[in-house]
């Protein structure tokens, strides 16, 4: 048996790691699609408000963008958490980080959905 | 083992490439670009808030973003993304047991590829 | 009544095995070692778990000790043994002439052998010299030197033995009646000096026993005999490959992990603490080794080192000296009480050496306790470093 | 006879509570000798207080791992010629990420205990690919014993010293221990699974591959950690779908 009195701790596990790998993979795919759409399909890019709003009228785009956001946010936060774990933080600090990161992730996605709805709404109103 | 070491000394070890092999750079660069991209992600989300505030706010921001310092920043972000993505591909492949015996070659190859793509994007962005 | 106490000087094979044996017999054991466990000759053995075949013709006493202890170690320490077996390989007419006394010797010493035709031998070991004429199987094996010592040390610790490593014995403490009652030590880890006391002191310093007992004006007929060992970074054989001939230089090729170790030579030195490797001897090992396994000529050298055997004798040539061990009671030889020296022998016979030494110690102190190390499996060698 | 070089051995010194410092020893060596021989010369002829671990002198015991000019090396198989030049310096320091006992000797206690804990067998039969010769085809059960061999890992600790995560996270099991777990295999072993599928286990690795770069004994811990990940993920997925993954249970059921 291990000398450490606390024994193994499950602060990180297979699912979290698998999520990081899978989101990473999808981020790459979506980024490629994003670049293709922006620079090959839409000439001149999406550099004006009007273009962006128009772009979002296609219903696939908001879904893709929200998915992209969720993937990027979870990949980034799992990664950041992993870097923090490398420093062996105390359990109490880790607990705070877990709550904080979960809150940030949820808030970011809600914010993203709100933002997209706002853009789409402005487009259909115009 | 080294509980007494300060946080700073422990972090320095991550970014100290002395005496280490070439793939150690993959570790360093992945860490720096990852942290940098996370920072950018939340800046970017904040910036996009301008879209909801209407046409003037967003276009005004895009106009402001056309100054060269911003452009350099953007090139850095794009490069960081490309490097992190290609290095991530190596780590992902290795994690499933693919190409492990050639991880060093894979690292050098993907880094070179990342460099070429970065240069292409930088060229496009500065000449656009 | 308090336990009888013993200080053992040296944590080589004999030291740790004696510590284990005496701890099992109820002694309060303390081991004082100037280096780490097995950092002298013991750590540097090639690691051949002798079947006894090597000594079956000229030194049958050693051969029987070997085969008996070989079988015991396989049972009590499987954690550190490659039980891969060995071959004695004959390459020329001189070797063939040795075959008859070899087979007879093995039979006399109950060492199981089996004759193989060249084709059979090559099927088992395809990298053998294809010109071989005959081969005999023997139950040789490979052991891991430091881990063998650690397993005994860990087991000794389990029964209460204390180990003071990096602690050098500088002097003996002798009372008015010429009895050794303890040692003066120098702890090198913290640069501290002090004294340990015990009912009896066992000098188990191998090739260094002579230097050690000189401190009290005693003498041991010890003949420190270094030999070179060369490790190659390729494993060309699964079994220990011996030359079917009178024991000589470079006639053993021992596989170990992914390596092979070729040994050895035999000469005499005066300064035991640093024996430099002689380049010519490395070349000799390469040449002799590749007679048995031609691939060695192309293998990359991984390491080369000297190990100093503690042979017992008086000025004879190294190899003709009996390889068996001796335990000296200095009361009998020098009139000094409370001091026993154990030396000679081979790694394979460490347990038996310890048994004999412990018997002498018990007899001297009038204690009636029997050896219990024969059938008891050793604990994990990794336990030695475990925090207690 | 052989070539002679004059080399300065810069030896890390630390005894008890005193401050660490370096002592310089200018010694004459044969460049074909190994770094460990140099350290032993320093001890034999210059300073008997120097403490270092060593035993086999041919890379089978793993006792003599040190940092030589910054890089983790098994000093008994590192020729002086490879790390310096005539008149040059050989800086020897104890391994990182282990408690220093004295000078160059470090405490292997925790590491060895962990190796036992993950069930790394010091003798096993997982080696056929390692050996250059062809073996007799699979024979009767009794033949298997002949293929038992001492494990590749010599528990020298070089990989743990070189690992950047071991440096910042003292409870991380580290490359050698995870490699030991991989070799043992999860096979539904609950204890082992819990040990490696946690924050101090297999997920702490961030692919710096320093372990593989310094490993002197063909273990390739980097590869083994990645393979262990596959094992853990496979085990978790199997359990998610209710697969009875406990080997013992399965055997009992038979």
For residue C352, what are the domain limits?
Answer: 5-41+146-221+323-385
Whether residues D102 and D216 share a domain: the answer is no
Whether residues D25 and D98 share a domain: the answer is yes
Last residue of a domain, one of C268, C290, C312: C312
Instruction: State the nearest Cα–Cα gap between D191 and chain A, in angstroms.
Output: 9
Residues C88 and C97: beta-carbon distance below 8 Å: no
Chain D interface includes A5 (CB < 8 A):
no
Count of structural domains within chain D: 2
- Enumerate neighbours of B (3 or more CB pairs within 8 A): A, D
List CB contacts (< 8 A) between C188 and chain D: 48-49, 51, 102
For residue A111, what are the domain limits?
Answer: 18-125
List CB contacts (< 8 A) between A25 and chain B: 92
Count of structural domains within chain B: 1
- Enumerate neighbours of C (3 or more CB pairs within 8 A): D
Residue C345 falls within a domain, yes or no? yes
Last residue of a domain, one of D49, D74, D106: D106
Q: What are phi and psi of D51, to 5 degrees?
A: -110, 130
Name residue C261's beta-bridge partners.
C231, C254
Taking CA–CA distances from D111, the nearest residue in chain A reads A2
Contacts of B89 (CB under 8 A, 6+ apart): A28, B110
**B-D contacts (CB, under 8 Å):** 73
Which of A33, A49, A75 to mutate against chain B (most B CBs within 10 Å)?
A49
Chain D interface includes C301 (CB < 8 A):
no
Residue A1 falls within a domain, yes or no? no
List the 54-113 stretch of D: residues with Cβ below 8 A of C. Answer: 54-63, 76-77, 101-102, 105, 107-110, 112-113
Count of structural domains within chain C: 2
- Tell me what ipTM this predicted complex has: 0.90
- The pLDDT of residue C230 is 96
CB contact under 8 A, B51 and A83: no
- pLDDT (tens, 9 = 90+) of chain D, 254 residues, equals 578 999 999 999 999 888 999 999 999 999 999 999 999 999 999 999 999 999 999 999 999 999 999 999 999 999 999 999 999 999 999 999 999 999 999 999 999 999 999 999 888 875 544 443 334 433 334 445 557 788 899 999 999 999 999 999 989 999 999 999 998 899 889 999 999 999 899 999 999 999 999 999 988 899 999 999 999 999 999 988 876 545 544 444 43
CB contact under 8 A, D164 and B101: no
Whether residues C272 and C354 share a domain: the answer is no
Last residue of a domain, one of D54, D86, D106: D106
Last residue of a domain, one of C249, C282, C312: C312
Last residue of a domain, one of D106, D136, D169: D106
Alpha carbon C235 to its chain's center: 23
Q: Which CATH number fits the domain that encloses residue A46?
A: 1.20.1300.10
Q: How far apart are CA D191 and CA D185, in angstroms?
A: 12
List the 71-110 stretch of C: residues with Cβ below 8 A of D. Answer: 78-85
Nearest to C183 by CA among C200, C197, C193: C197
Q: How far apart are CA C256 and CA C258, in angstroms?
A: 6
Whether residues C138 and C165 share a domain: the answer is no
Taking CA–CA distances from A7, the nearest residue in chain D reads D195
Q: Which CATH number fits the domain that encloses residue C238?
A: 3.30.9.10
Average pLDDT over residues A110-125: 82
Tokens of residue C284, six digits:
């000799």
Q: Which CATH number fits the domain that encloses residue C336?
A: 3.50.50.60
List CB contacts (< 8 A) between D210 and chain B: 20-21, 23-24
Whether residues C192 and C55 share a domain: the answer is no
For residue D69, what are the domain limits?
Answer: 5-106
CB contact under 8 A, A24 and B48: no
Residue C318 falls within a domain, yes or no? no
Last residue of a domain, one of C312, C336, C360: C312
Tokens of residue A16, six digits:
């979290």
Residue D16 burial by Cβ neighbours in a 10 Å radius (0-12, 13-18, 19+) = exposed
- The pLDDT of residue C388 is 57
Whether residues D178 and D245 share a domain: the answer is yes
CB neighbours of residue C190 within 10 Å: 14
Whether residues C162 and C22 share a domain: the answer is yes
Whether residues C55 and C201 share a domain: the answer is no
Chain D residues interacting with chain B (CB cutoff of 8 angstroms): 69-71, 96-99, 110, 162, 164, 166-168, 170, 206-210, 213, 222-223, 226-227, 229-230
Residues of chain B with pLDDT under 70: 1-5, 128
- The pLDDT of residue A44 is 62
| D66: three-class secondary structure by DSSP | strand
Nearest by CB: D60 against C83, C144, C380: C144
Residue C317 falls within a domain, yes or no? no
Nearest to C167 by CA among C145, C204, C195, C146: C195
Q: How far apart are CA A118 and CA A114, in angstroms?
A: 6
For residue B56, what are the domain limits?
Answer: 21-127
CB contact under 8 A, A25 and B10: no
Q: Sheet containing C180-187: which strands, arranged edge to edge? A: C167-174, C180-187, C192-197
Residue B73 falls within a domain, yes or no? yes
Whether residues D167 and D99 share a domain: the answer is no
Number of continuous H segments (helices) and E segments (strands) in chain A: 4, 0
Residue A3 falls within a domain, yes or no? no
List CB contacts (< 8 A) between D132 and chain C: 127, 234-236, 295
Q: Which helix or strand (DSSP H or E) is residue C163 part of?
A: strand C162-164
Whether residues C94 and C127 share a domain: the answer is yes
Do B and D touch, counting CB pairs below 8 Å (3 needed)? Answer: yes
Nearest by CB: A108 against B11, B45, B89: B45
Residue B12 falls within a domain, yes or no? no
Contacts of B27 (CB under 8 A, 6+ apart): B14, D164, D206, D207, D208
Count of structural domains within chain A: 1
Whether residues D98 and D126 share a domain: the answer is no
Name residue C48's beta-bridge partners.
C142
Q: How far apart are CA D126 and CA D183, in angstroms?
A: 8
Q: What is the pLDDT of residues B96-123, one digit of tens each?
A: 888 887 888 999 999 999 999 999 988 8
- The pLDDT of residue D254 is 39
Residues of chain C with pLDDT under 70: 1, 314-323, 388
Which of D200, D205, D207 to mutate against chain A (most A CBs within 10 Å)?
D200
Residues C303 and C231: beta-carbon distance below 8 Å: yes
* Predicted structure pTM score: 0.91
């Amino acid at each position: 048996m291990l000398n450490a009195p606390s024994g193994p701790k499950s602060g990180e596990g297979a699912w979290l790691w698998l999520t990081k790998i899978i989101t990473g993979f999808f981020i790459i795919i979506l980024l490629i699609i994003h670049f293709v759409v922006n620079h090959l399909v839409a000439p001149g890019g999406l550099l004006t408000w009007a273009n962006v709003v128009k772009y979002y009228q296609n219903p696939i785009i908001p879904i893709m963008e929200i998915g992209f956001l969720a993937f990027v946010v979870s990949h980034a936060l799992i990664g950041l958490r992993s870097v923090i774990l490398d420093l062996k933080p105390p359990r109490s600090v880790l607990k705070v980080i877990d709550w904080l990161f979960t809150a940030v992730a949820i808030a970011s996605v809600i914010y993203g959905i709100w933002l997209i709805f706002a853009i789409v709404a402005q487009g259909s109103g115009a | 083992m080294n509980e007494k070491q300060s946080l700073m000394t422990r972090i320095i070890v991550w970014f100290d490439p002395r005496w280490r092999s070439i793939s150690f750079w993959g570790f360093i660069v992945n860490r720096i670009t990852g942290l940098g991209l996370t920072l950018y992600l939340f800046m970017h989300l904040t910036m996009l808030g301008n879209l909801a505030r209407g046409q003037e706010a967003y276009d005004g921001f895009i106009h402001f973003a056309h100054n060269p310092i911003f452009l350099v920043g953007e090139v850095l972000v794009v490069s960081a993304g490309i490097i992190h993505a290609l290095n991530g591909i190596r780590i992902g492949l290795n994690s499933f047991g693919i190409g492990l015996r050639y991880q060093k070659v894979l690292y050098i190859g993907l880094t070179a590829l990342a460099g070429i793509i970065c240069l292409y994007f930088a060229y496009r962005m500065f000449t656009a | 009544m308090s336990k009888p106490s013993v200080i053992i000087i040296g944590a080589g094979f004999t030291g740790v095995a004696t510590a284990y044996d005496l701890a099992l017999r109820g002694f309060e054991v303390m081991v004082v070692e100037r280096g780490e466990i097995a950092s002298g000759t013991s750590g540097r053995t090639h690691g051949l778990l002798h079947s006894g075949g090597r000594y079956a013709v000229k030194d049958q006493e050693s051969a029987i000790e070997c085969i008996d202890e070989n079988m015991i170690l396989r049972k009590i320490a499987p954690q550190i043994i490659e039980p891969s077996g060995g071959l004695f390989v004959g390459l020329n007419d001189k070797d063939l002439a040795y075959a008859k006394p070899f087979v007879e010797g093995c039979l006399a010493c109950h060492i199981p052998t089996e004759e193989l035709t060249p084709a059979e031998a090559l099927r088992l070991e395809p990298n053998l010299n294809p010109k071989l004429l005959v081969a005999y199987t023997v139950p040789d094996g490979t052991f891991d030197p430091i881990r063998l010592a650690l397993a005994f040390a860990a087991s000794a610790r389990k029964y209460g033995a204390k180990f003071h490593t990096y602690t050098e014995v500088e002097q003996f403490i002798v009372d008015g009646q010429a009895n050794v009652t303890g040692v003066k030590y120098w702890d090198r880890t913290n640069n501290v000096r002090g004294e340990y006391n015990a009912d009896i002191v066992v000098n188990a310093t191998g090739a260094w026993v002579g230097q050690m007992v000189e401190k009290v004006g005693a003498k041991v007929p010890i003949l420190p005999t270094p030999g070179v060992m060369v490790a190659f970074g390729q494993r060309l054989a699964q079994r220990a490959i011996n030359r079917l001939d009178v024991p000589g230089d470079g006639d053993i090729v021992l596989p170990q992990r992914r390596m092979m170790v070729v040994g050895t030579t035999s000469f005499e030195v005066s300064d035991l603490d640093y024996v430099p490797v002689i380049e010519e001897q490395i070349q000799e090992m390469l040449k002799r080794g590749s007679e048995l396994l031609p691939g060695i000529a192309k293998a990359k050298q991984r390491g080369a080192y000297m190990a100093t055997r503690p042979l017992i004798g008086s000025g004879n040539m190294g190899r003709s000296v009996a390889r068996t061990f001796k335990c000296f009671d200095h009361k009998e030889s020098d009139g000094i009480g409370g001091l026993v020296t154990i030396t000679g022998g081979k790694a394979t016979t460490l347990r038996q050496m310890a048994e004999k030494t412990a018997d002498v110690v018990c007899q001297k102190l009038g204690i009636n306790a029997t050896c219990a190390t024969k059938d008891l499996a050793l604990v994990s060698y990794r336990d030695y470093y475990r925090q207690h | 006879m052989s070539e002679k070089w004059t080399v300065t051995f810069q030896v890390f010194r630390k005894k008890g509570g005193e401050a660490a410092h370096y002592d310089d020893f200018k010694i004459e060596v044969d460049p074909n000798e190994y770094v460990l021989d140099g350290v032993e010369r320093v001890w034999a002829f210059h300073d008997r207080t120097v403490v270092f671990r060593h035993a086999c002198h041919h890379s089978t015991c793993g006792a003599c791992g040190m940092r030589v000019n910054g890089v983790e090396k098994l000093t008994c198989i590192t020729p002086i010629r490879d790390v310096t030049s005539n008149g040059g310096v050989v800086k020897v320091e104890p391994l990182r990420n282990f408690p220093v006992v004295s000078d160059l000797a470090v405490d292997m206690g925790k590491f060895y205990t962990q190796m036992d804990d993950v069930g790394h067998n010091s003798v096993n039969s997982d080696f056929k690919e390692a050996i250059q010769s062809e073996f007799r085809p699979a024979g009767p059960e009794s033949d298997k014993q002949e293929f038992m061999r001492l494990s590749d890992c010599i528990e020298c600790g070089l990989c743990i010293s070189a690992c950047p995560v071991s440096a910042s996270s003292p409870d991380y099991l580290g490359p050698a221990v995870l490699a030991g777990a991989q070799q043992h295999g999860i096979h539904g072993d609950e204890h082992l699974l819990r040990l490696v599928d946690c924050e101090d286990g297999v997920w702490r690795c961030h692919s710096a591959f320093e372990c593989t770069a310094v490993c002197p004994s063909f273990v390739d811990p980097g590869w083994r950690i990645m393979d262990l990940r596959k094992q853990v993920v496979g085990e978790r997925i199997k359990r998610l779908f209710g697969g009875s993954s406990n080997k013992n249970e399965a055997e009992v059921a038979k």
